[in-house]
Amino acid sequence: EDKVVQSPLSLVVHEGDTVTLNCSYEVTNFRSLLWYKQEKKAPTFLFMLTSSGIEKKSGRLSSILDKKELFSILNITATQTGDSAVYLCAGGSYNTDKLIFGTGTRLQVFP
């Protein structure tokens, strides 16, 4: 059965710290790995990773995929209180039109 596992489940840091969120996946006919940020309401899209070893970057956030070891990391540098959220990762395959989501990492950034 396909699955996506995220770690840690929860993380508490101070503003200015750098954090690394982990996502491992087992997805049949894997195609892409996606990261979403979920604050109080809807998950919002961050990154889609399809190729191994190519870093995607958006401001203080960056992410990379390792298709050999079947994992991805999401880095956030110089964290701010606005980064507090649940970060979800999801795997997609060539076979189906559904994403398999992990349970998320809850990040809390304190001033």
Gyration radius (Cα) of the chain, Å: 13
Binding track, positions 47-86, relative to another protein; x by CB under 8 A: -x-x------------------------------------
- 108 lies in the binding site for another protein (CB under 8 A): no
Q: Which of residues 18 and 51 has its CB atom nearest to another protein in the complex?
A: 51
Collapse the DSSP code of 61 into the 3-class scheme (helix H, G, I; strand E, B; otherwise coil) and give the result.
strand
- 1 lies in the binding site for another protein (CB under 8 A): no
Taking the C-alpha atoms of residue 18 and residue 64, their distance in angstroms, rounded to an integer, is: 16
Which of positions 10-49 make contact with another protein (CB under 8 A)?
Answer: 31-32, 34, 36, 41-45, 48
Q: Are strands 105-110 and 10-14 parallel, antiparallel or unpaired?
A: parallel
Amino acid at 55: E
